[in-house]
Structures are given as C-alpha cells and as structure tokens.
Homo-oligomer: A and B are copies of this chain.
Amino acid sequence: MSLDLAAIRTAHDRIRPHIHCTPVLTSARLDAAAGGALFFKCENFQKVGAFKARGATNAVFSLTAAEAARGVATHSSGNHAAALARAARLRGIPAYIVMPANSSKTKIRAVEGYGGRITFCEPTAAAREETCARIVADTGAAMIHPFTDFRVMAGQGTAVIELLEDVPSLDTILCPVGGGGLLCGTAVAAKTLQPGIRVIAAEPTGAGDAAESFHAGHRIPVDHPHTIADGLRTSIGEPNFELIRRHVDDVVTVSEEGIVAAMRTIWETMKIIIEPSAAVPYAAIMESKVDVRDRRIGVIFSGGNVDLDALPWGLSGSA
C-alpha cells in the first residue's frame, strides 16, 4: 500500500460526514506584515481540535466489519488518541489507548470523554510499544499508528484538498512536521493537484530531525526533543521520510522564542486559539525562513488544544 491522490480523495468521501470542512481565514494585518497573502486553513476548529480527526476517522472507517469488530488500538499521549477514540465511538467499536502515566489530565479526560479504554504505561517509547503490542495480541484490535499508517496519512491529506478548493492559486503550502503524517498527506495531494506548488515543512529546532534528515538524505531520529510544540516531539517515520524526500521542497527550523511569538501574534491579531505546534509555520514566516514576499501562501493551523493554565507567556511572565 502507498499514498496517492486517489487514496486521499477516497478518504475525503469516507470521512466527510464525520468531520468539519474547516474555514480558511485571512488577516489584512498579517498580510501587510509578511508582504504576501496568507491563507490559514483552520484545523484548530476541526473535531477534537486538530487535523488528527481526519486520519483517525479514515483509518477506522477503512476497516472491514470483521476487522472493526475487534476494535482499534494505538499509543499516543496527544490528539491522535482522542481522535481515534472518537472515530471508534462513531463506528461503535472499542478503542484501546495506551498512554504514558504522566500524560496531562486534559488529554486523559479527552480520551475518556470519547469512551476510549486507557491503559497506562511507563513514559518510555519501549513501554508504550510493548504495552500496545500486548493489547493487540490479546484483543485482535487493529493497530492504528499515529503517522506511519497510510490510511492515516490519506486522511490528513484531505485538509489541503479543501484548502486548494477554497483558494485555487497558491504558490506555497506551509505545514508543520512531527512524525510526518500531515506533511505526507499534504505534499502528495498538493503536488498532484498542482505540480508547480512548493510544499515547505516547518519544525522546531529543538526537534529538528526532519530538517536534518532531509538535508542529509537519510533518516536521523531525534534523541531528546526539546520544544514547547508538544505535537512535534516525535521523529519522522520511515515511510514518511521516503515520501518527504520525493514530494517536499524544503524543511526549515524555527526557535522556541519564535514559536511563542508566532502563537501570541495569531491569538492577538486573529482572535483564534492555536496550539504551539500549529504556530510553527507562521514562526517560519516571522523568522524569514521562507520567501513569502508577493506570494500566495497556504498555512495549515494544525490544532488548537492548549492548556490555558500553562500558557508560555504566563510562565515567562511569572518568572
């Protein structure tokens, strides 16, 4: 199995009843500051507050009835967990979610709210994978990986189809990259629909494995990611890296201060809430890492799930 526009279109037809077609917003003030025209695809308004609803829903509704009956499983401490639990509930099947015991209460509540069956484990990659493998062996549940699964990537690619339907003549798409699920879906869909378009990924310097791998030409996982952008602390997946090499034009990195400044600028100017990971592409514009002058740029706001009790400027302000 692989990823192509046909798979993304099929995913779109499959998930359309269950997701929002999110709005594309613009800001005259941000356009003036950038010297270009910016079109923000607002997946922060998506179900579960993030684009992850698209991929998880596509994966769950791709299963045969026999497969689905045994449920789905994943390990995730973030938006994918909530998205998978929601999709499973929509299909009336169990979702087994392995979460590190130190996950935030907000995220645990979100998964519980959608009826996910949580198993807690030690907060290490090995413990998460072992625990999840055991559950899959015990239950026969289908493993839905948050970003290496092609059904997930196809679902994530549906956002840019909507963006290009709303704004047909974009020069560039800016997309955050963590594991690479959103980026792969975005790049494959955009490059097939409009071959001349540039697709540029943005990543925190503190979790800069995608940029390093892209420029080295081979995958170099990150050991100790350190970034406020909690959705982007993962290393890119193996199948993701192969697709990124073929379809992405550049991967740029941004500073932590840049992410916080970008997030705050979007909140104050556009009056919408985006999470740190979603601010990374706009940080790349603010830090002049991408050429936007006189261009038409699509920017994917990937999510809006923020702990309002731990805002980055609140923390620095009280220090």
Q: Contact check, A313 vs B317: say whether CB atoms are below 8 A apart.
A: no
Whole-angstrom CA separation of A4 from B304 in the bound complex: 41
Number of this chain's copies in the assembly equals 2
Contacting residues of chain A (17-60) with chain B, CB-CB under 8 angstroms: 23, 44-45, 49
Tell which of B264, B273, B311, B314 touches A272, judged by Cβ atoms closer than 8 Å. B273
Q: Given A271-B44, A272-B273, do A309 and B313 touch, yes or no (CB 8 Å)?
A: yes
| Of B264, B273, B314, the contact of A271 (CB 8 Å cutoff) | B273
The A contact surface, by secondary structure, is helix
CB distance from A199 to the nearest CB of B (A): 25
CB contacts (< 8 Å) of A308 on chain B: these are: 264, 267-268, 311, 313
Q: Chain A, interface size: which category?
A: 20 to 34
Q: Does A318 contact B (CB under 8 A)?
A: yes
- Residues on B with beta carbons closer than 8 Å to the beta carbon of A309: 313-314, 317
Q: How far, in Å, is A19 (CB) from chain B's closest CB?
A: 12
How far is it, in angstroms, between the C-alpha of A273 and the C-alpha of B273 when the chains are bound?
7
Interface flags for A267-301 (1: CB within 8 Å of B; 0: not) read 11011111000000000000000000000000000
A residues with a Cβ closer than 8 A to B are: 23, 44-45, 49, 264, 267-268, 270-274, 304, 308-309, 311, 313-314, 317-318
With A45-B271, A314-B314 known, 4 other A-B pairs at CB within 8 A are A267-B273, A272-B272, A273-B273, A318-B318
- The 8 sampled A-B contact pairs (Cβ below 8 Å) are A268-B308, A271-B272, A271-B274, A271-B304, A273-B273, A309-B314, A309-B317, A318-B318
